Amino acid sequence: MAKDSLVKGTVILAAAALVARVLGVVQRIPLVYLIGQGGMATFGIAFNIYTLLLTIATAGIPSALSKLVSERTELGRHAEADRIFRASVQFALGAGVVMTVFLLLYAPTYANASGDASATLAIRALAPALLLFPLIAIVRGYFQGRRMMMPNGLSQIIEQILRLVTSIGLAALFLAVGWGHDWAVAGASFGGVMGSVGAVAVLAWYWRSLRRQDRRERGETAPASRGGIPVRIRQTQTAAASAPQADNPLAPKVLGTYGSIFKAMFTISIPIVLFSLAVPLIYFIDSSMAIPLLRGTIGETEAKVALGILTGQAQSLAGIPIILAIALSQSIVPIVSSAYARGDLVEVKRQAAKALQISVLTGLPVVLAIVTAARPINGFLFPNEAGYGIVALLTASALFQIVMQTSGSILMGIGEMRPLIVNVCLGIVAKLVVSLLLAPVLGMYGIVLGTAGCFVVMMAFNARVIRKKVPFRVMSGRRWGGLAGASAILLAVGFAVERLCYSLLSGLPAKLLYLVDGAITGIVVLSLYPVLMMALKVVTKDDVAGFPAPLKKLIARVGRLVKR
């Protein structure tokens, strides 16, 4: 099992995340018809408390495990990496049992507090998934640390497929046999349990294959095992490989006891959790302060409408360009951690620049397509086109969020956790200040500009800290100029195409008009993007050399078209 490169790992995780997200949407459409909006509310109550407890149970440990394992594996300290993994598995199993028992016992209390006592059965039907999902998160973190993204991607897809089939199948079956509405919702919830079983099965198969390969490569004997988890492994590595490298001051210290492992793990994981909470916290601030800020200028009713557009429409669409950034963030941490652990700052510099370049070049076309087609996309997906300006502006800010996310992951990789959290706090302060100043003047647009300001501040300070450690340059000034020029051209062309289509097709039914208008605008922008990148020499042959083979072929055709 070969390690995945940065680009390959990112593509695998991004594709899996996209498929999983689509399957998640597909799951909800028939459920709405089967159990109704009331049933979906009950389903949501069960799912939200489950998600919260799952976050507490895992607490960023998969990313911490990825970093710790990648560092030790890179230095040949395989016994220590295995010990860290075993400690993490024991923590996951214990946390899963505690959270499951807690949810089973307190399901009635939470259901009554939420105002829907019927949610008790649905919560208890979903509770067993907590036995396995902490373990799933840990094993995914281990594979991430070994730079193997295929197990994680495939397990996500299988999990969603089984969740979808079970949820819809059981809900329909329980209604058909007359068990009633509450059991139908519980059946829908139980899909999460079956999804966890499928994910465990996929990860277990990959893990066993990896262990066999490791034993062959390291000359180990087959380990005694309990429940599929190794209890003892006879190591043949030398003492030099087991100890920190004396000539490498950046090498991580040896974690000999479970106490030291858990201390290191939580030291890393807590800042990761806080960083991961940055965007949800920003959205929470928006939900909390929007109506009080806007009530005096546009009235409470209009303020609620504007907030509904922001939370129900803009935030969901602005989250689309971020999918690749999240995948890139997961891929870059073990790669940078490995290079930093062995003291290879040149490789850290190269990978950091490459990751930021990929994040900008791949996130930009999606942002431009959604921004220019915001009116038809908004009108097609939602009741009308109202609020498309808010959608466009928040999506534009997503480009800064992409760079913020990627640069934050680089800081994780080099162990700069304290600056990471400081930068989050600075970004939140910027968000509050800009929103308070601009909301009375620009309304909801001022609040969205506050969000953009937050991302810009976090992005800038993250880059500043990275440059102090490993000076790097993402692209030359000339290429940045070419990128800015290409973006301006695409915005002008995209808006012109959208308005022309909207005018010419105005006789069509509204939804069909929005669909055709949005499709044409998006296709034009996305098709012109690679042409302009090559024509303006923003993308070079050296950049293309690291891309996946299918993308290389596509770029080669574009290159022949523009003679580059």
Render pLDDT for 494-510 as a digit per residue (tens, 0 to 9). 999 999 999 998 888 98
pLDDT at residue 236 in the model: 38
- Let me know: does 43 contact 114? Beta carbons within 8 Å: no
Highest mean pLDDT: which of 138-142, 182-186, 252-256, 497-501?
497-501
Q: How far apart are CA 50 and CA 368, in angstroms?
A: 36
Does position 452 have pLDDT exceeding 80, yes or no?
A: yes
CA-based nearest residue to 375, from 367, 366, 385, 383: 385
| Average pLDDT rounded to a whole number, residues 229-238 | 41
Highest mean pLDDT: which of 142-156, 241-255, 502-516, 541-555?
502-516
Q: How far apart are CA 184 and CA 172, in angstroms?
A: 7
pLDDT at residue 525 in the model: 94
| Average pLDDT rounded to a whole number, residues 83-87 | 85
The residue with greater pLDDT, 266 or 389, is 389
CB burial of 257-277 (b: ≥16 within 10 Å; e: otherwise) equals eeeebbebbbebbbbbbbbbe
CA-based nearest residue to 328, from 407, 417, 270: 407
Q: How far apart are CA 378 and CA 394, in angstroms?
A: 13
The residue with greater pLDDT, 221 or 167, is 167
pLDDT at residue 277 in the model: 72
pLDDT at residue 536 in the model: 87
| Average pLDDT rounded to a whole number, residues 36-49 | 71
DSSP H or E stretch at residue 288: helix 278-298
| Average pLDDT rounded to a whole number, residues 277-306 | 79
In 3-state terms the chain splits into helix, strand, coil percentages (rounded to 5) of 80, 0, 15
Share above pLDDT 70 across residues of the chain, in percent, rounded to a whole number: 80
CB burial of 475-496 (b: ≥16 within 10 Å; e: otherwise) equals beeebeebbeebbeebeebbbe
Does position 4 have pLDDT exceeding 60, yes or no?
A: no
pLDDT at residue 55 in the model: 63
The residue with greater pLDDT, 318 or 37, is 318
pLDDT at residue 466 in the model: 87
Q: How confident is the model at residue 431 (pLDDT cuts 50, 70, 90)?
A: very high
Q: How far apart are CA 27 and CA 165, in angstroms?
A: 8
Give pTM, 2 decimals.
Answer: 0.67
Share above pLDDT 90 across residues of the chain, in percent, rounded to a whole number: 23
Q: Give every CB contact of residue 279 below 8 A, 6+ residues apart in sequence.
A: 401
Does position 44 have pLDDT exceeding 80, yes or no?
A: no
Q: How far apart are CA 455 and CA 427, in angstroms?
A: 7
pLDDT at residue 135 in the model: 87
Q: How confident is the model at residue 271 (pLDDT cuts 50, 70, 90)?
A: confident
- Let me know: does 414 contact 338? Beta carbons within 8 Å: no
Residues 341-387 have pLDDT tens digits of 777 788 888 888 888 888 888 889 999 999 999 999 888 877 777 78
Does position 124 have pLDDT exceeding 80, yes or no?
A: yes
pLDDT at residue 228 in the model: 44
pLDDT at residue 197 in the model: 93
Residues 402-426 have pLDDT tens digits of 889 888 888 887 878 888 889 989 9
Does position 175 have pLDDT exceeding 80, yes or no?
A: yes
pLDDT at residue 365 in the model: 92
Residue 508 zone, left/alpha/beta (φ > 0; ψ -120 to 50; rest): beta
CA-based nearest residue to 158, from 194, 126, 189, 125: 194
- Average pLDDT over all residues of the chain: 80
DSSP H or E stretch at residue 557: helix 549-562
pLDDT at residue 202 in the model: 93
| Average pLDDT rounded to a whole number, residues 333-340 | 74
Highest mean pLDDT: which of 12-21, 287-296, 374-383?
374-383
The residue with greater pLDDT, 421 or 37, is 421
Q: How far apart are CA 544 and CA 546, in angstroms?
A: 5
Q: What DSSP string describes 201-234?
A: HHHHHHHHHHHHHHHHHHTPPPPEEETTEEEE--
Q: Give every CB contact of residue 459 below 8 A, 6+ residues apart in sequence.
A: 400, 403, 404, 407
| Average pLDDT rounded to a whole number, residues 120-145 | 86
